[in-house]
Amino acid sequence: MKEKTYPSPIPNPDTQVFWDAAKEGRFLVKFCKDCGKAHWYPRAVCPLCFSSNTEWRNGSGKGSIYTYSPMRRADPPFVLAYVTLEEGPTMLTNIVDCDPDQLAIGQAVELLFRPSTGEYPIPLFKPAL
């Protein structure tokens, strides 16, 4: 079976800090300093209260599967999932290093980075031990 490759992201001014941290193996999450909530995907304005008073914080890298779908006909197969981060928001990602038949909604997962075709690694999740 061939290995999945991940296309390199193209950072923009709102996400450059995130991708630079990813190169260092750090996972950042954007938080709003006015409403106190985290949001995903990273952007300058909080989508919950529309404040521009946001900041980057280190994320835990922990979450749980909100929902998932094994893409068995893809070459190579992969698992597409929404993961709810410990910090609150839900992100679209892939679950890797697992048997898709052993996954379950609500299952704990943890972050890992995989190389992309460019300089920035991709944040993915695997089942937590």
Is a pLDDT exceeding 90 seen at residue 4?
no
Is a pLDDT exceeding 70 seen at residue 1?
no
SS3 state of residue 42: coil
Nearest to 31 by CA among 51, 12, 16: 51
Contact 35, 48 (CB under 8 A): yes
Place of tokens 């954007």: 30
The one-letter amino acid code at 112 reads: L
Going along the chain from its start, the domains and CATH numbers come out as: 16-127 (2.40.50.840)
11-52 residue pLDDT tens: 999 999 999 999 999 999 999 999 999 999 999 999 999 999
